[in-house]
Structure 1
Amino acid sequence: MIKILMVDDDKDVLEINRKYFEENGCSVKICSHSQEAIDLAKKFKPDCILLDVMMPDMDGLEVCKQIRSFSNAPILFLSGKISENDKVAGFEAGADDYIEKPYSLKEVYLRIKVHIRRNSSVKRTMPKMYIDISPFLINLEEHKITYEDTEILLSNKEYDIFLYLAQNAGSEITFEEIGKKIWGSYDEGNRRIVMVNVSRLRKKIEDQTGVDNLIETVWSKGYKLVKPKGIRYGR
Structure 2
Amino acid sequence: MTRVLVVEDDPQLVRALKINLQARKFDVEQATNGTAALRLAAADKPDVIILDLGLPDMDGIDVIKGVRGWSRVPILVLSARHTSEDKIRALDAGADDYVTKPFSMDELLARLRAATRRQEGPDRPDEVVIVTTEDFSVDLAAKKVRRGERTVRLTPTEWHLLEILVTHPGHLVSQRKLLLEVWGPTYAENTNYLRVYMAQLRRKLEPDPSSPRYLVTEAGMGYRFEP
Q: CA deviation at 1:12?
A: 2.5
TM-aligned CA distance change 1:166 to 1:57, over 3 Å? same
**What's 1:208 paired with?**
none
Mapped partners of 1:81, 1:89: distance in 2: 11
Tell me how far 1:79 sits from its aligned partner: 0.9
Per the alignment, do residues 216 and 30 of structure 1 end up closer, same or farther by CA in structure 2, a change over 3 Å counting? same
Compute the displacement of 1:163 (Å): 3.3
**TM-score between the two structures when normalised by the length of structure 1:** 0.72
Alignment CA distance shift 1:128-1:70 (3 Å):
same
Query: What secondary structure, in the 3-state scheme, does the structure 1 residue paired with 2:209 have?
Result: strand
CA offsets 1:9-59 (integer angstroms, 9 cap, x no match)? 212311221122112111111101102111211122111111111112111
Q: Deviations over 1:108-129 (max 9, x none)?
A: 112111121233253x643221
1:201–1:226 distance in 2 versus 1, CA, 3 Å: closer
Contact 2:175 2:191 in 1 (8 A): yes
Aligned equivalent of 2:162: 162
Segments of structure 2 that go 5 or more residues without pairing to the other structure are 181-186, 217-225
Match of 2:32 in 1: 32
Across the two proteins, how many residue pairs are aligned to each other? Answer: 211
C-alpha separation in 1, matches of 2:208 and 2:3:
35
Provide the rounded CA distance (Å) in 2 between the counterparts of 1:52 and 1:200: 27
Moved more, 130-139 or 84-93: 130-139
Q: What are the residue-to-residue correspondences of 1:100-179 with 2, within 5 Å?
A: 100-120=100-120, 122=122, 125-129=124-128, 130-133=130-133, 136-140=136-140, 142=141, 144-147=143-146, 154-163=154-163, 179=175
SS of residue in 2 equivalent to 1:62: helix
- Distance across 2 between alignment mates of 1:47 and 1:90: 19
Q: 1:197 and 1:121, CA in 2 relative to 1: closer, same or farther beyond 3 A?
A: closer
> Relative contact order (alpha carbons < 8 A, sep ≥ 6): 1 or 2 greater?
1
**Partner letter of residue 183 of structure 1?**
L
Is the contact made by 2:179 and 2:194 (CA closer than 8 Å) also made in structure 1? no
2:179 is aligned, of 171, 183, 202, to 183
Match of 2:183?
Answer: none
* % same residue: 26
- Cα offset for 1:144? 1.0
CA RMSD, Structure 1 to Structure 2 (Å) = 3.6
Q: Under a length normalisation based on structure 2, what TM-score does the superposition of the two structures give?
A: 0.74
Amino acid at match of 2:49: I
SS in 2 for 1:216: coil
